[in-house]
Amino acid sequence: MENRNHSETYEKLVLSAEKLFAAKGFYGTSIRDVAQSLSIAKSSVLHHFPRKEKLYAVVLQRIADDMTRELQSIRSDGTDEFTQMLSFIALMCENTKNRPDRDLIILRELLDNPNRADKARKWYFAPYLNELSRIVSSGMEKGLFKPVNPGLFVFHLLGAHHYFIICLPTVRKLFEAAVFDRMVLDHRRELEKMVEDKLARPRKPKPQK
């Protein structure tokens, strides 16, 4: 369904466009830029993607699909929900390290999406948020988690991570190197603690009020 074997150039275009859209956004990236990054003619880009919007859509769709797939594989790995949440944090941090552009694009899309009312836009990351919320809901239903608002918790967790990541390049200039390094190291532990504090029940489930 998804994996019709596209040409090599097609694949390169998607990857290169991902970088460019991440760096300068939809409006700030021109088809010319994308073409130049692969040293091909502009109209060759338009051969593969009839409109700029279409290229952007494919980039988004691919990111959302990858992320959702990874999350589904965690959710069906047989472990308990608490472990799954920790796996998710590990996955998220790993993805940030390997594909930093993707975090930027997601944030940009969050900002731009509401304003593209002209052409009815779809929200590519809904399945991803759904999967993630479901882990929390499931953990609550089993009594493994404290009662929280699942959607809200997910947003706060994602927010804490994404925001920090996006601030990194700027923060680097504001703090001394040692302080900066320490912040990066502490970051993941802090996310894990957020899951622990907010979700995990005390070790011995005493039926206290």
Partner DNA sequence: TTGACAGCCTACCGATCGTTCGGTAGGCTG
Partner DNA sequence: CAGCCTACCGAACGATCGGTAGGCTGTCAA
Please state the closest distance from residue 7 (CB atom) to a second copy, in A: 29
Phi, psi for residue 26 in degrees, rounded to 5: -65, -50
Footprint of a second copy on 167-206 (CB under 8 A): 167, 169-171, 173-175, 179, 182-183, 186-187, 190, 194, 197
197 binds, among a second copy, DNA, none (CB under 5 to 8 A by kind): a second copy
Please state the closest distance from residue 125 (CB atom) to a second copy, in A: 8
Please state the closest distance from residue 32 (CB atom) to DNA, in A: 4
Q: Is 7 in the site for DNA (CB under 7 A)?
A: yes
Q: Is 24 in the site for a second copy (CB under 8 A)?
A: yes
Binding string, residues 53-92; x marks residues near DNA by CB under 7 A:
x---------------------------------------
Contact 198, 148 (CB under 8 A): yes
Give whichever of 32 and 116 is closer to DNA, judged by the CB atom: 32
Q: Which of 96, 97, 74, 95 is nearest to 86 (CA)?
A: 74
The site for DNA (CB under 7 A) is made up of 6-10, 29-33, 39-44, 46-48, 50-53
The site for a second copy (CB under 8 A) is made up of 23-28, 104, 107-108, 110-115, 123, 126, 129-130, 149, 151-152, 155-156, 158-164, 166-167, 169-171, 173-175, 179, 182-183, 186-187, 190, 194, 197
